[in-house]
Each structure stands twice: as structure tokens, then as C-alpha cells.
Structure 1
Amino acid sequence: MGSQRAYTTHPLVLRRVTVRRVYEVTPRMRRVVLGGDGLAAFTRDGTVHPAFAAPGFDDHIKLILAADGNIQAALPAQLPHGIEWTPAEHRLTRDYTPRRVDLQRGELHLDFVVHGEGPAETWSASAREGDELWFVGPKSSLRLPEQLDWILLVGDETALPAIGRFLDERPLDATAHVLVTVPDDSARQELALRDGDTITWVVAEPGEAAALDAAVRALPVPAGEGYAWAAAESRALLLVRRYLQRERKLPKDRLNITGYWHREEATAPETEGTADVGAVARNPTGSRIPSPLPWLAARAALQLGVVDTVADTPGIPAGALATRLGVPGPGIDVLLPLLAAYDVVVSAGDGTGLRLGPAGEELLDDHEREEYTGHEAELLLALAHFAPALRDGMSPWRLASGTTLHHTVTHDAERYGELVEECEQLVFLLHGLTADRLWEDVGSCLLTGPGSASVVAALDDAGRRPRLRIAEDATPVTVLRGHVPAPERIDWTPGPVDVAVAAKALAHRTDQEATLLLTRLAGWTRTAVLVEASRPDGLSPYAAESALHAYGATGSPLRDAAAIAAVAKRSGWDVDRTIALGWGAEATVLRRT
């Protein structure tokens, strides 16, 4: 059976609301009650948008603010089925969890930490009746397992809106064990506890990892089937994640841990939306172009097993570490000072040996280490060959490895699996495709590409039920079987269909390989859809790097409409139309000539 989806998607709609009232919940929490026609269904530019829906207790909406006060210039473009984040120099966004949604009254309640810093807290401090606020979302809602005996809810004061909403609405009938860290007793709130529930308040400085970790470890282990949910400062949760995953051994589908904010020097928590900055990426030299040495050292530490070994045996001496890893002592002695300089490991200097530093704790997280050892890391290393590849007219990946990226990933299940996981976000963008008129007479659909699982999920969400085929090589088929909902309903052999959807299938192919794929599709259908990113995500801090990464992979930049049309024409297709999906992604509908 395929993996069970852990969330329900929602259409992305830009909404305007106004302030109805503001009051203090505690000396440290301000509640702003918002309302207006923007919460109801409405029509904009001829498109009917659904009423606001945020059924999950930890749903997130994205508030949109403007540093220069010009909110109209900061707003994204509303598509018929999605949002396009157009460039906006002064746009600021912050994520918040609705504390309460009252659709009968047409009201949305948001809680703001009073003693935080930043644009959202500043806005809430001056909010008065009638003031406007724009937001987008939520894009999805968490699906909790149906049968649970208990749930653990852990967080700091920024998590109180989600925890309070869970206790008010009780999305499942399970005993709740709550642990909240607050900077002082004035931040405590009255919460809707039931018989059997427990609550632990811990006074600790915001973002204090040791206090949160110790408090979670001190909780009794309940009997039966359980689920752990945690939200707080991102680094403070690293120890909690390590404890629940490695020691309590909670399965991934029974664990949801989210960094709501990121502590930097001289800042306090404002909200859930502060961007994380990897500690290993810090640049102490102050130069405009940072050295790659810290990244390479972190990569070596993960590849050799330094991080995991020090995590499992804290206090291990450097000599014992070298022996355990089977590497020469002088080599470890070269690596350790750089790792210590970037807080990957720390040495107490009193003979107690090595322990993980804050950056090392981050590298225990699977998503963090992928930056250094996963598919994206390999692409980054291939860019060392960028100049000669540019001269030779080939992709840096091919020059570095001797083969194309497509050939590599289709023969390596782990690499293809990384592509499939990257494409999981695609499901939030496919409303525009699944709502399109092309599905009106479609009885059968062929899918290809690492985004195929997301397309299946999106068709399910939209109530589309065509007969499904998947056309892929043997290794990708094995990977996709583990990600597609209900794989037994799918025909895993190619054949004639009404429409074919290639989901992120071109992103790892050269132009020649893309032409060959489209030629193959022409043998099975007269209508094809290409789902690809044609420009960088407007909210991404790495937008300037997108074209270079794409070129490193395939020898082509991000393919815009003209490039897609050129590849299509070479394989006997004409572009019928383009469906904007948002976040820089598009669905290009092709017809056979």
C-alpha cells in the first residue's frame, strides 16, 4: 500500500479582512479579532473563490505586510486557482495559526506575542477597529491518525494558539498531555482541559533548548497508541526531536515537529514565520562571498559519521572518535577545529571530550543533512565544473559524472526518492490543473515524472477519477509505488490514454532527453500536460540561484514558455495554452500536430 497522506489541501486565496476588536488575553498575548466579506465566498476578476476554511488546529495563514506602507505593491497576484508571488521589494510575510474560526459570525481570531519584535507584532500593537489586513491560506490541514489513546502537545508561548484551539475543538477523542514553556507566570492561559488531561507549565527563557528538552524527558510515557505534536523555536526543538525519534522511537507518522520561529542574537519571538538560517552557513570573516570550507567540513563530518557518533557517545575523546570511525587521528585533528569554529562539535576543554554544538544538533535532522549529503549537495558539487561545461555546451552534471542527471536518478532509488519528496509540495499548486476544462471528457490518464504521486493526490482531492497508468523506468516505478495513494488501482504499464501528465519530468532531463520523452508520449495520446517551474518562486530567498541550479542539472536554465514550445515542436507537439499554477509553476497543455 502507498503511504497515507498526512494533510488535506485547500485552494490558495488572497483575502482582505478588517479589525473588529483587540484585547489582551494575558500580559504577553494580544488577540486581534478580524472579520469581513473576505472570509465568505466571493468573486474576483470573474472567478468565484470559496469561503475561508481552516479546519486544522495548527493551520497556518500567511499575513502580508509592507515595510514601506504600500500594501498594494506587496500583495501577490490572485490566479483563478492559486497565488503568484510577484517580486515585491518591501513585502514582508509572517505565518500565524488561527486561534479561533467562527464562520457563523464571520470572524477569525489571531493571537500575537506582545513582547516579540518584528512587523506583525508592531502591526498588532497599533491595530484599531477598521484597520485592514491581507492574508493567504491555509494551504493544508494536518490529518491526525484516527485511533489514538493520547496526544502530546509541546510548545512555547507561540504554540499556545494551536494548543488552545486543539483543546477547544478536540479533533479526536484522546487524552491530551500538554507542556508549555513560558518566560514568566503571567503568560499562562486558561485552557479547556478534560478529566485525564495533564498540563505542565515550565518557566524558561524563549528558545532555551535545555529547559524544553528536560521538561519533555520528565513527562511520564503514556500507555497505548500516541502522537506527539511540538512547535517552538526551531533549534530548541532539535533535542526534543532527537529524544522522541531516537529514544522514544515514535514513527514518523506519529510525530509532527515544527519550528515556529528562529532565535537570532538580540531578538525575541514574534511569530511562527521567521526564516531559519542554518548555523553551519554562518560566515565569521564578514566577506561578501562566503568560503565553501564550512559547508565542505560539515559534509565530511556527516559522510564520516562524526555527527552521529558524537551524538550517540557524548564526551568521546578525539582519539577514540578516530578509532571508532576507522580514520587516521591526524585527519580528524585537521577536521575538528573547523567543526568547532562553526559549532558542529564543542570540546569542554576539561578532558570530557566532544559533544555536539547547536549546528551539530541541527545536522541530526534528516532535512538539514540533505543540504550536505543529498541530491542537492551533489548538484552543488557539480557546479565546480560550471565554467568548462559552459564552454563545452553541456551540463555541469554530465561533465562531472560522465552521464546525464536523468540517467543517474532513474538508476538510483534513493536519488529518485529525493526528487519525489521534493515534488510533494506540488500538490498545493495543482488546483488550477485539476479544475481545468480538459478533464471534462477524460476517462484515462497516463502519468510520468517524480511529481506523479502529487498529481494522483490532487486528482483525488478534486474528485477526478480517470483510469490511471504510470509510465516510468523500473527503479522510479518501485519508488512511486511507495508514495502513490492506493497503488493497486493503477496500471503500471504504458498504453493509449486520453491525456498524459508529465509532472516535473523535464526538470532533470536535457533538451535531447526531454524531446525523447515527448516523442514517447505522442505514441500514447494526443493531449499532454507538462507541469514545470518556469521561473523562481517569488518568496524564495534563493531565487537568484534557481537558473544556475537548473543549468547545473540539465545544461539549460529554467525553461520558460518559449523553451517549452521549442522542445514540444521538435517532438511533434503544439502548445495549446498555459495554466498558471503559482509559485513560478505552470501547466503547459500540448496537442499533437
Structure 2
Amino acid sequence: MAQGRGWEGAVLRMMRAKDFTLTVTGTQDVTDRYRRLHLSDGGLLAATGVHPTMWVRLWFDNAGRPHQRAYTLVGPDPAAGSFSLEFALHDGAASDWARAAKPGDTIDATVQGTGFETPSPAPSHVLVIGDPASLPAVNSLLGDGGNALGPAPATVWFESGADDAEGLPFLTDPDRHEIRLVPRRDGGAALVERVKAELPGLLRATPDPYVWIACDTGTTRTLAAYVRKELGVPKDRLHALGYWRAG
């Protein structure tokens, strides 16, 4: 299964990554730009277990070349051997595959590198910066039947296009989680400006904060450096991972 995946596949084999074949069992168009696929897991959950924000690498064909992207599991059910994946649709091999996927289709998946560490002490306020690509992970972190970070309130800066947030499947708790919608402008500059204006005050009022950043790679790097270097948030109270690259 891992043959023909170029240097990425070779590195993952050296790191003893686990390979599985997933089968599409159903599809759902959540919005015209956001699609959910239901899949049988090919034994994945039984072999690996489940943790919050768990993700897998999917392998796509991109004009004859291997192309891999990571996706967070949605509603994993080890007993049933199933989960869903959600795709924020745009141009590219992954979105093209998701648009065309139908029951019975299969795709190869690799599990390597995923993990989750619960911060200690538990957060008194969770500060999340995300977008449609990281929404499944946001839901896994704050909702999705689990609440990985306990009962703390959360503030979520959510970047999206003008209409992209409407109809998205937020699983957050409106009594504890505040969603602050931020329009995507200037390659993420509007999100950076908004966070820099609002985050410092929340941090000053929070004895044990936890900051979680997952948006496009450039914006994630900018905000992570700001949070660490200018706001002084310790490394163990910050998680930052770029979820996609702006074209």
C-alpha cells in the first residue's frame, strides 16, 4: 500500500507508520463548500486507539504524483469501526476527490505523528484561533461529545469568507464558548490584527490560559511567534500547527 508515495512515504515507513484502507459509506454536503464523508476504518481505530484531535494522512493522486493531506477524525466509533472526515472545499487534489467520492470508494490512510497532551494545570480559559479547515479539530477539542480540556470557558476567533461560516457544524457549547467570526482578508492579516487587539486583555485576566492556534501556515507562524515572544505564553501552554498553505 505504501509503495509509490515518494520520499514522504519512504520517511513514514522508516518511522513505522501504520497504513490502512478506508471505505466511503456515505456522503453529506454540509454546505456548498464543506463536505462530510462517512467511512469504515479498515481496522484503524482498533489498532491505534482514539484521542482528542486525532488525525490521519490521506493519500491522493495529483496528476500521477502522490499527494498527502491530514484530516481530523470526526465522531470516531471504535466499536463500529467508523468515523467521518470533513473537507473545506477549494481547488486541489484532496477537494476534487472529496467532491467526487461515493459509497464504495476507497482511499489509503497513514497514522503517524498524531497525539494529544492534556495541559497541566487544567486551563482556566481556552483561547482558540481557527478556520473551516481546523473546525473538526476545534470541535474535538471543545465539544464533539468529549471536551478534552475540561469545563473551562473558551474564546474562539474563527476566520472564514463572507458566507463560509453559515451552516458549519460547530459543536461548541454556547453557554461557555464564544465564537468571534473574523472575515478572511489580506491573506490572514485581518485575523492577526484582531487577535493582537483582543488576546492580550484576555490573557491578563486568565491565571492558567491555554492557546491553541490552527489556521493557514503563515498566519499560524505569525501568531505563534507573537504569543510566545511578545505575550510570553510558555511553550507548554501553546499549541500551534498550520493546517494548510495559502496559495
- The answer to whether the aligner puts 1:140 opposite 2:127 as a matched pair is no
**Following the alignment from structure 2 to structure 1, what is the Cα–Cα distance between the partners of residues 32 and 208?**
37
Q: Does residue 130 of the first structure (1) align with residue 113 of the second (2)?
A: no
**SS at structure 2 position matched to 1:133:** strand
Give the aligned partner of residue 148 of structure 2.
171
> Does 1:15 pair with 2:15?
no
Following superposition, the deviation at residue 108 of structure 1 comes to 1.6
Q: 1:230 aligned to 2:213?
A: yes
Q: In structure 1, how many angstroms separate the alpha carbons of the residues matched to 2:32 and 2:61?
A: 27
Provide the residue aligned with 1:263 in structure 2.
246
Kindly name which structure, 1 or 2, has the bigger radius of gyration based on alpha carbons. Answer: 1
Q: Give the match for residue 104 of structure 1.
A: 79
In 2, the alpha carbon distance for the partners of 1:96 and 1:135 equals: 10
Say yes or no: does 1:248 pair with 2:244: no
Q: Which runs of 5+ in 2 are unaligned?
A: 1-14
Kindly indicate whether structure 1 or structure 2 has the higher relative contact order, using CA contacts under 8 Å at least 6 residues apart: 2
| Selected match of 1:187 from 149, 152, 165 | 165
Spell out, residue by residue over 1:315-348, the C-alpha distance to the aligned partner (whole angstroms, 9 max, x if none).
xxxxxxxxxxxxxxxxxxxxxxxxxxxxxxxxxx
Contact residue 99 and residue 110 of structure 1 kept, 8 A: yes
Percent sequence identity over aligned pairs: 28
Code of the residue aligned with 1:208 in structure 2: it is G
Distance 1:105 1:145, change over 3 A: same
Contact 1:64 1:134 in 2 (8 A): yes
Uncovered stretches (5+) of structure 1, i.e. residues with no partner: 1-9, 42-50, 70-89, 265-593
**Distance across 2 between alignment mates of 1:144 and 1:40:** 20
Q: Are 2:56 and 1:61 aligned?
A: yes
Q: 1:52 to 1:20 in 2, by over 3 A?
A: farther
Deviations 1:185-229 (A, max 9, x none): 342433321523211011224x72321112212334142101111
Write the letter of the residue equivalent to 2:30.
Answer: V
Identify the residue that residue 5 of structure 2 maps to in structure 1: none
**What pairs up with 1:407-426 in 2 under 5 angstroms?**
none
Cα distance in 2 between the residues matched to 1:33 and 1:238:
32
Contact 1:29 1:187 in 2 (8 A): no
Partner of 2:91: 117
Name the CA distance, whole Å, in 1 between partners of 2:228 and 2:42: 44
**Cα deviations across residues 404-435 of structure 1 (Å, max 9, x unaligned)?**
xxxxxxxxxxxxxxxxxxxxxxxxxxxxxxxx
TM-fit CA distance, 1:143: 0.1
Distance 1:260 1:40, change over 3 A: closer
TM-score using structure 2 length: 0.82
1:124 maps to a residue whose letter is: A
Pair 1:99–1:138, CA change in 2 (3 A): farther
Structure 1 position 201 matched with structure 2 position 201: no
Q: Could you list the per-position Cα deviations for residues 254-304 of structure 1 after superposition, in whole angstroms to 9, with x for gaps in the alignment? A: 11111111123xxxxxxxxxxxxxxxxxxxxxxxxxxxxxxxxxxxxxxxx
Question: TM-score scaled by structure 1?
Answer: 0.36
How many residues are paired up?
A: 223
Question: How much is the aligned-residue C-alpha RMSD, in angstroms?
Answer: 2.2
Q: Give 1:63's aligned amino acid.
A: L
Q: Report the CA distance between 1:103 and its aligned residue.
A: 1.7
Q: Which has the higher helix share?
A: 1
2: CA distance between counterparts of 1:208 and 1:65?
26
Contact 2:221 2:242 in 1 (8 A): no
Q: Cα distance, 1:246 vs. partner?
A: 2.2
- Alignment of 1:218 onto 2:200: no
